Structure 1
């Protein structure tokens, strides 16, 4: 029953890096088309490289793959294929992160990737009513000045961007490093989120909340190490966009049984489920839910709470959130 319910429930995904949805087949196809040299001869060789020791070992391959994206149509194809996957998995709303600095550092201008992304988003909305917001993420291993310059370069496109985020190498790059750029983004009317508490300590989560004043936390799985922080998260209804398969693939936990998501849920934290970089981590959103069910034997109430948390944590207008919450109840009642 639960497996089927996972598939038919309307869902939202709030932690998805579009560059991390680049499947090996498309990577090889685009690299060949664009004359990009990759250290792989076949799709199988690419897949065999998807064994990571930590976050940095993944990021090295992630940036290598992103180099195959060059033209506006490349970015359209990347976004379109993910949105089609949303349709297949009944993801009715998604909030998709993209890393402009990954591309601008290669000489790819904003207009190239933004026009590709927006064309796919508009087409999916027109064809089946897909809802999709864009989150512009800053690379934390680069300087805050570089992030400020990126925000300035994005000015012509801010009407198409809902929020800013913070990703890439967490250790040694605390949230406080980006206080000025997040303040500037808030003044521009953008929502905010930040990766914290994946590899970094609970203190990084405190910094994201109190210095960056983010609307939600990406990952946050180490929150459970700090009981006062857990109380804060529950009381303030701060959403944690947790990515179970990613956390296992990147050795944040040795296996799914050790994952903290269900303990955090039981302690009142607003946790929800996402796929992060699904091409690299072995599964899209439904596969993450199915793995949680296989490991923790989710009840209908567990599943309902996780899915409803995802809508509550979204940047959707309240009226749309309430609509989808009622749809979740209706589907569960029918099953």
Structure 2
């Protein structure tokens, strides 16, 4: 089964590019930019990647982002992630970036998006990996700050597929950002939002009804509301689930307790993603392998997880059909148990 998983074509829909900053690249960028890190070595930095909840993770996450200064830095960060995608047979990825994390440090919005975007385009040309770019608002900041960020994004709308909402969920419900999401949709942007990770199932309902999201990021707390579970199955609202992240942040105590296969069996459009893989223990193959070890999914279930992601991706019809054909070809060649 391990070989099947490694060969399985994959699509990633929930990935924070800042969360792919591996300690070795952090040290490389710190040296390039003359930044002193609070770690004596790469191994010390790896040891520091320990946290007990979302907020303690975010504290380390934002500290690491301080080494990202130039357009080249953002290019190198994104390119490093794309090489991981190639190794894990990721055909298509839709990545999040957090401009407010960087503009608050005096980094120009254009510097951030230019570096990321140029790497994505090179990845499509040289690696054959298609992609979309989603700009996230930090929900612990104000809606006014989100409006300001959206204003900075307007010259780059042709590079953006959508907007999202991330950072601390508790105390920052979807309703806080209703107006800025309305404006983003009026500009032609898709919308997604983190909901139902550390927050209640009601956040999922509000993200759908108030923010009119096309996908719910995480969403595993939907089980608090059985009627919501049924509605998610009926509407095929995608949930971009992140298994290793959920364990690292104690959403579930053990992978054996994870509900992703239960949700899949109930007919929900659940997908597998890596979230912040440098911090949470692995990229796409690692997440699939961890699920396999703990929950023993069938080959058909693993393929369905990718099929769900293809259906949930922000793709044109022809591109979606091509990904489905690639998956179908794989299933014909490798699907016999």
Aligned to 1:293: 292
Tell whether the 8 Å contact from 1:5 to 1:332 is kept in structure 2 after alignment: no
Aligned to 2:38: 39
Tell whether the 8 Å contact from 2:95 to 2:133 is kept in structure 1 after alignment: yes
Aligned to 2:330: 331
Deviations 1:119-173 (A, max 9, x none): 2112111213220110000000000000001000111111001010000000000
Once residues 274 and 128 of structure 1 are traced to their aligned partners in structure 2, the CA distance between those partners, rounded to angstroms, is: 20
Aligned to 2:23: 24
Unaligned 5+ segments in structure 2 are none
Aligned to 2:240: 241
TM-score (norm 1): 0.98
Give the CA RMSD over aligned residues.
Answer: 0.9
Alignment of 1:41-56 (within 5 A): 41-56=40-55
Q: Tell me how many residue pairs correspond in the alignment.
A: 334
Once residues 98 and 268 of structure 1 are traced to their aligned partners in structure 2, the CA distance between those partners, rounded to angstroms, is: 30
Once residues 37 and 210 of structure 1 are traced to their aligned partners in structure 2, the CA distance between those partners, rounded to angstroms, is: 45
Once residues 6 and 312 of structure 1 are traced to their aligned partners in structure 2, the CA distance between those partners, rounded to angstroms, is: 20
Give the match's secondary structure for 1:222. helix
Once residues 62 and 88 of structure 2 are traced to their aligned partners in structure 1, the CA distance between those partners, rounded to angstroms, is: 27
Alignment of 1:1-335 (within 5 A): 2-335=1-334
Deviations 1:248-305 (A, max 9, x none): 0011111101111111111111000000000001100011001101111110111111
Deviations 1:209-263 (A, max 9, x none): 0000100000001011111110111111100000000000011111101111111
Once residues 301 and 92 of structure 1 are traced to their aligned partners in structure 2, the CA distance between those partners, rounded to angstroms, is: 19
Unaligned 5+ segments in structure 1 are none
Q: CA deviation at 1:38?
A: 2.0
TM-score (norm 2): 0.98
Give the match's secondary structure for 2:191. strand
Once residues 128 and 44 of structure 1 are traced to their aligned partners in structure 2, the CA distance between those partners, rounded to angstroms, is: 30
Deviations 1:11-66 (A, max 9, x none): 11000000000000011111122122321110111111111110000000000000
Tell whether the 8 Å contact from 2:215 to 2:237 is kept in structure 1 after alignment: yes
Give the match's secondary structure for 1:67. helix
Q: CA deviation at 1:77?
A: 0.2
